[in-house]
Structure 1
């Protein structure tokens, strides 16, 4: 089993709960393209429910034979010049995955994380450090278990004050997952969210989720033809059905 990065210990459940729900934006369009020299481009444009528009351009280069990876982002629009010198390092072995992120102009600051694993069991931690202030800026920890058909994780973030337990199970047609979150700083209430994904056929699937506040979301994803995907989504506040709090959205993705 490949050891995931620290941020991916609960990736299966988080993806099920957060990805492919298209109501978050009124409209989204993505164009993805790969060049013969191993450069992948992605252009994204979004229109929010408040009628604001935004865009992003991403270029990613990977040379597997040399183990070299690079990524450049350009966000549009922007109000301030984007200045910074960043260095990212990754070290990975069969039972270890470590990363370090340095911002050489801001601070300088460093963020490091590491995960060790054995036979599906995972344990990891992350920490941030500000060199100028000579202070730790934050730390987190996580434990988990990953198997081919299911995964489970417990994370403690925000200086070990926000705890989350997630679970995800999958078979060839149906996925189901749940996540419970507790913030020790804000009280004893526990937030709960559950989601499910059902593959309708080889080219389409539907998703649904609901949280403890009664907010539900549904989505539908279909491959219209090779390289063109349509996504539709909506969210509803089941406790305020008579109010205009509901949202709908659509997404087109073009790949070549």
Structure 2
């Protein structure tokens, strides 16, 4: 395996420095568990939750090559890194901006693929009914592989005296986007090349202790499972997980209320 290029090292240092500044500018607790691409959820399956008004979250995830999401025909490089920033604009809405890059990819590949997802909380959770959320992507990015449209419902239950979050939903393979490097007055309706957030999705997350959680999910294509650890009053989450019980990924996320 070759060494990281100077451009890759500079980009990772810049993201780390930005993360430290954002973390220092936040206060109060905010649930910080997010998916690989920065949506509220477990690993790949989102849940019916938004981070809330005036809240911010950011993180980074490592995704192994055998389960790669960036399926370019001329793909070069190895594993993937996903950096994301999630902003809460309203009590019922947030948006995630994602930057995905392939480790050791040629310099001509640029800084990575950009994408954005907007989520709307259609219904809050009650004692009887689950929360319901609609997620859709912004069709102006450069990463068609992680674009998705989905509808999910989440209910928090009690199991053995601990909180159990259960999620179920469905994602469609059909998307609308503008062709790359063309005017925004041209849009295309097509079927995605990947199974990312497509079909029936299910997930469950159980709090083992105050600081340790276990989660499992079916992302519409395979089963994933892992452990999460939370710190600083739920502002920081670290997680390690297995994709289809074959490869291992990991990630870290921070969140809080902007002062």
- Larger strand percent: 1
TM-score, normalised to structure 1, is 0.37
- Larger helix percent: 2
TM-score, normalised to structure 2, is 0.37
